[in-house]
Amino acid sequence: MSLLEVKNVSFTYGAGTAFAKKAVDGVSLNIEKGDFIGIIGHTGSGKSTLIQTLNGLIKPDEGEIILDGKNIWSEPKKIRKVRFKVGMVFQYPEYQLFEETAEKDIAYGPKNMGLSDDEISERVKSAAKFVGLKPELLKKSPFELSGGEKRRVAIAGVIAMEPDILILDEPCAGLDPNGRDVLLAQIKAYHRQKENTVLLVSHSMEDISRIADKILVMNKSKVFAFDSTRSVFEKGEELEKIGLQIPQVTKILLELKRRGYPVSTDIYSVEKAAEEIMKLKPKRSQLLKEG
């Protein structure tokens, strides 16, 4: 049994009006425990809507979302429980901070879960550690922190609920390159330590290819591809056809292959690509023989 099953889910914005737009169209997916899934697609491809159906912020018009073998809408009154299990970090989450101190803001989610004070402070500490927030910052007002620190506080606020599934919508948007590398590494470390499930939405193929094990490609409200990172990039050319940028190294290998060099194209890290290209070089012994 999968941890989360998405069965034929559809959702239309503004149904029944002239502005009706089908944002998610018949999507089916199985998400297993321990998956690290990267979600990619153009603006308006339905990825944000899809992830909001997963924790019950949007109720799909058709289809069902099954979490731990139970339809999340079978008891609408208990939808809050689903939101604690499926944690969601929105885009630019720093705009949702409101408490007097960073610590209290991180504690907002756990408090809503009804945990004891000891448990809450324990969770706040460990969540802050995961996102690399220094303890002295926790006593400060969130509005005094820098942009990057604010974002960490907001992410920690969701991590502190210790969700089984963590969804992040463009967590790196607006961060400098160094900040994004650090944040992605922290998310990856969190995933490894907790052995839970992470879904990460991003525009950057490069970021996703680096940390995700599986990739979900959304195109025009539908699932275009959902497979391991390696197999998705094997279809590099198809991805380019729908206008998605593939990692630059993959592009180089695709071009080499097109020109008749025997290279594999399911490579997306610079190191592996270098190895692959080096293989093309005639062996030293061969050179000697010919020379």
Contact residues: another protein, CB under 8 A: 14, 52, 55, 57, 80, 83-84, 87-88, 90, 93, 95-98, 108-109, 112-113, 143, 157-158, 161
Closer residue to another protein in complex, CB, 140/210 = 140
Look at residues 39, 42, 53, 41 and name the one whose alpha carbon lies nearest to residue 4.
Answer: 53
CB of 55 to another protein, least distance (A): 6
Please report, for residues 176, 252, 277, 280, 281, the alpha-carbon distance to residue 286 in angstroms, rounded to integers and kept in the order given: 47, 26, 17, 12, 10
Closer residue to another protein in complex, CB, 157/247 = 157
Look at residues 118, 94, 98, 119 and name the one whose alpha carbon lies nearest to residue 108.
Answer: 98
CB of 158 to another protein, least distance (A): 7
| 118 dihedral zone (left: phi>0; alpha: psi -120 to 50; beta) | alpha
Closer residue to another protein in complex, CB, 98/261 = 98
Closer residue to another protein in complex, CB, 50/88 = 88
Closer residue to another protein in complex, CB, 96/245 = 96
Helix, strand or coil, per DSSP, at residue 158: helix
Distance CA 52, CA 214 (A): 19
Answer for the pair 281, 262: CB distance below 8 angstroms, yes or no. no
Answer for the pair 219, 242: CB distance below 8 angstroms, yes or no. yes
Closer residue to another protein in complex, CB, 64/99 = 99
CB of 276 to another protein, least distance (A): 42
Closer residue to another protein in complex, CB, 143/261 = 143
Q: What are phi and psi of 89, to 5 degrees?
A: -110, 115
Closer residue to another protein in complex, CB, 150/233 = 150
CB of 120 to another protein, least distance (A): 13
CB of 105 to another protein, least distance (A): 9
Q: Parallel, antiparallel, or unpaired for β 70-71 and 62-67?
A: antiparallel
Helices (H), 201-246: 205-211, 229-234, 236-241
CB of 231 to another protein, least distance (A): 31
Q: How far is CA 79 from the centre of its chain?
A: 22
CB of 267 to another protein, least distance (A): 37
On the 0-12 / 13-18 / 19+ scale of CB atoms within 10 A, 181 is middle
CB of 26 to another protein, least distance (A): 24
For residue 142, what are its two tokens? 């969130």
